[in-house]
Amino acid sequence: MRIYRLKKMSLPKIAVLVTGLGAAILAVTISPQVAHAFPSKAKDCAGCHTGSTSTATKATPSATALVAGASYTVAITLAANPTGGNSGYAIVPVPPDTMQANAGDTASLTSYTATMTAPATAGTYSYTVYTNMGSQSTGQTGSAVYSITVTGGSTTPPTTTLPTTAAPTTAPPVTLPPTTAPPAIDSTSIHGPYALNSAQCGTCHRTHTAKAPNLLAKSSQSSLCFACHDGTGANSNVRAQYQLVRPVNKPATREYFSHDALAPSNHTDSGLNEFGGVSNRHSECADCHNSHKAKGANATQAADGTGWEPSGKLAGVSGVSVVNGAAGSAPAYTFLEGTTNLVTREYQLCLKCHSGFTTLTSNAGLKPSQYALDKGVEFNPANPSFHPVEAAGTNKTAAMTASLAGTSPYKVWNFNADSTIRCLSCHASGTTPDTTPNPLPQPGSALAPHTSANRGILLKNYRDRVLKSTNEAYSAGDFALCYMCHAEAPFLNDGSNATNFDLHAKHVSSLEGGSGGTDIDTPGAGESNAVCAECHFRLHSTTNKVGAQTVPGTRLVNFAPNVQPLVPGGVLSWSQGTTGSGSCTLTCHGEKHDGYGY
């Protein structure tokens, strides 16, 4: 052994040397080299790689029925990224299994074989395989899920017994504090709750590299949600709804075909009052969904007849409750933050944005058919008539009962005169041409007003702004929205018992000789057969009728701007007689009705 001798140095020099070494060690300790946010990389690749997504990823285990502790392989394939780059994969288990695996980042491979070990406990286990090819900014990510069933082994997770040393007999007995198990995962809530040391939180959140408020892993809430809700990481493919072929939103003319979740916004947290008394229009996913509390339960009609209780998908979200006053008056609004003050009726969520609780967009310079109106005022059960969102409707006649029980080409809902309906019964994702599902959905089923090919984000088509042109024939498709609930019979033949107005068929099938164009907002317009909206212009209720018209407000009768008084400067009117009778004094489609009775 060779021994080296240090030159003699003074104590001050030694002190300086020691201080310098200490500083160097401290610098290394507090300023480590930058490392990957997740050194194991056994995470969702889309958390860091934000370029694009692919649905081509596949994961196939060599066997799906395995003995506890057995080895097996998983064949993983992914699509090539047009921009190139190294590829890799990560296998992440769904608890209770904890085995993870990852590899790659060496070449642009499109296939891998991973070796895994089956858990030691019998049961069925699921794993998500995440893939990526390319850099963080141009990476193409994907995911797939596979499951295995394990037999043999223990029926409960194995426990590890630590060696103990017997305490002296003179020592007092040691009482260990009770252990607290991690919070159980609700089987209907994939987003948690999880234990604080769980890796699942990292799928959506970053502590040091967050890209948006709430420590989100992506630049916006909606883009984060779409990373899974695209048919790969979640059962619900919401991204596909936003890829529906549809017209673009046109705010200038109030033509909306989507709640635009991807539009830039200043949204931060649903529990904060972001809408009350201000103009702050936006619709991020979290405005309507609380990801930490959402569950899969369907909506249910409240037993007291005051609307529909929200579905599990709306659990924990904020909204607005109302205390109604006299007919036509604005209710008193109260913000419900969703934590201690809960949304108890589904419509309360909608009122957060579509009522006088917020500052609605101005109607100045717009046509009456384009107005944004206070839904809190319109759905007040004190109004003479309304669609029954907050309470059952006012029309309890035998004709209404027959109408709701009747058939049509577009029948979806089977309500009765004592039912309430959801906003989603009319406003939900839909297509035209119509694609009515078979079997029909249940009234409380999962409906979402994300996008629609129909203006107003309507489940089915409704013609309400453009009148029929000369000689244009009746078409049930023009009123498909109405026929989801109501019978078509009264519109095919006069004299049906499913209506209190026995001239419906005449008006929609046998009118002729009018003039003046096809714009429902133009006074005197109307060239041919009528549309529903000419006599039922405001559909939510009759509170906001247009211009000078004398109507009692019942039967949802209120006239469109194209319908005119009998004489210029006069007041058009409709009076209701005994059940099934009434009279009109007005001019419609060029035809004068001077106290015309039926």
Which pLDDT value is given to residue 189?
64
Distances in Å between the alpha carbon of 501 and those of 236, 386, 485, 595?
44, 18, 17, 15
Q: Is residue 435 part of a domain?
A: no
- Of 420, 411, 426, the closest CA to residue 456 belongs to 426
Domain membership flag for residue 534: no
CA dihedral sign, ordered 473, 479, 482, 487: positive
Euclidean distance between the first and final Cα of the chain, in Å?
121
- Give the pLDDT of residue 256: 96
Buried b (16+ CB within 10 A) or exposed e, 564-588: bbbeeeeebbbebeeeeebebbbbb
Residue 191 confidence (pLDDT): 80
* Cα–Cα distance measured from residue 326 to residue 328, given in angstroms and rounded to the nearest whole number: 6
Angstrom distance (rounded) from CA 422 to CA 300: 10
Residue type, 386: F
Measure the CA–CA gap between 186 and 35, rounded to whole angstroms.
34
Domain range for 80 is: 45-153+193-226
The DSSP result for 432-460, as a single string, is SS----SSPPPTTS----SB-SSTTT-SS
Cα 336 from Cα 324, distance rounded (Å): 16
Pair 134, 85: CB distance under 8 Å = yes
Instruction: List residues bridging with 572 in a β-sheet.
Output: 549
Q: Which residues of the chain have pLDDT under 70?
A: 1-41, 154-190, 438
What pLDDT is stored for residue 105 in this prediction?
81
Q: What is the pLDDT of residue 163?
A: 40
Number of domains in the chain: 1
- How does DSSP assign 77-116, residue by residue? E-PPPTT---EEEEEEEPTT----EEEE-SS--SEEEEEE
- 3-state per-residue secondary structure call for 166-186: CCCCCCCCCCCCCCCCCCCCC
Query: The domain that contains 81 carries what CATH number?
Result: 2.60.40.10
Q: ∠ CA 545-548-554 to the nearest 5 degrees? A: 45
Query: CB 384: neighbour CB atoms within 10 A?
Result: 18
Query: Residue 259's pLDDT is what?
Result: 95
Helix, strand and coil percent figures for the chain, each rounded to 5: 15, 20, 65
Looking at residue 505, the DSSP 8-state letter turns out to be: H
- Reduce the DSSP state of residue 330 to 3 states and report it: coil
The residue type at 69: G
**Residue 23 near residue 66 (C-beta atoms within 8 A):** no
Name the 3-class secondary structure at 242.
helix
Task: Please name the residues in contact with 141: beta carbons below 8 A apart, sequence gap of 6 or more.
Answer: 44, 45, 46, 49, 51, 52, 53, 54, 130, 131, 132, 227
**Does residue 201 lie within any of the structural domains?**
yes
The per-residue pLDDT for 95 is: 80
Instruction: Tell me if 68 is assigned to some domain.
Output: yes
